A and B are shown apart, each in its own frame.
Chain A
């Protein structure tokens, strides 16, 4: 992975330290052809969890807000059957491993397709939601 990923991870960590308390870098590893960053922190009474993975296949992400272990809101692009079913209808089985950006709401009771998220946008949204 190139130096650009290293700079991106440094920017994510910097942003997290500006926005959150008790920031912990769980892992940061830039390997041969892939890179992973995982961090968590606190925002008031909420737990914020961020994970990004980069590879030749693109970016996988997971940005979640939890309270007492339950999802308040979350964004990720891991294949999700509910969104794939909504997007592809009866043909969804042919797309089971397709990455699909989406949002989960309280307790994961609902899910909806979104545009791809980045950590900056996640913090903006979380800031609006949790204030």
Chain B
């Protein structure tokens, strides 16, 4: 896909100092995409780690025990009576992490 972008002449002039403008711009966009993917991955990982620390287990263990272990459910409800909010987002962040890692891998391979 090709896109026409309007850029400041000054930026184009500066970019041209480093080689073919199109190549420089493509490289800059790729680096930007990689940086943003890494940022998203780090944010997701931080959230996941916080939930793991809060509940003392990983999500797979949590989601199984919350349904099968009455004592565990009671302990969790003492920590946070609205744990469902956390559980929803925990699952969300894990899936998001997988998606951003895939996106990063795709970008790195291009």
Contacts and interface: CB of A to CB of B under 8 A. Distances in A.
B95 A62 contact: no
B105 interface: no
A107 B40 CA distance: 36
B89 to A, nearest CB: 7
Contact of A36 (B66, B77, B89): B89
B99 interface: yes
Interface string B57-77: 000000110111000010001
Interface in A57-76: 60, 62, 64, 66, 69-71, 74, 76
Nearest to B47: A27
Top 4 nearest A-B pairs by Cβ distance? A78-B84, A81-B67, A76-B84, A96-B67
Contacts of B87: 78
Contacts of B68: 81, 93, 96
Contact of B88 (A51, A70, A84): A51
Contacts of A31: 40, 96, 99
**Max chain A C-beta neighbours (<10 A), residue from B40, B68, B82, B89:** B82
Given A33-B99, A55-B95, A66 B82 contact: yes
Interface size grouping (class) on chain B: 20 to 34
A97 B85 CA distance: 16
14 contacts: A31-B40, A34-B96, A34-B99, A51-B88, A53-B89, A55-B92, A55-B95, A60-B92, A62-B82, A69-B81, A74-B82, A76-B85, A76-B88, A79-B63
A81 B73 CA distance: 10
A53 B84 CA distance: 12
Contact of A32 (B73, B81, B92, B99): B99
B57 to A, nearest CB: 16
A62 B67 contact: no
A42 interface: no
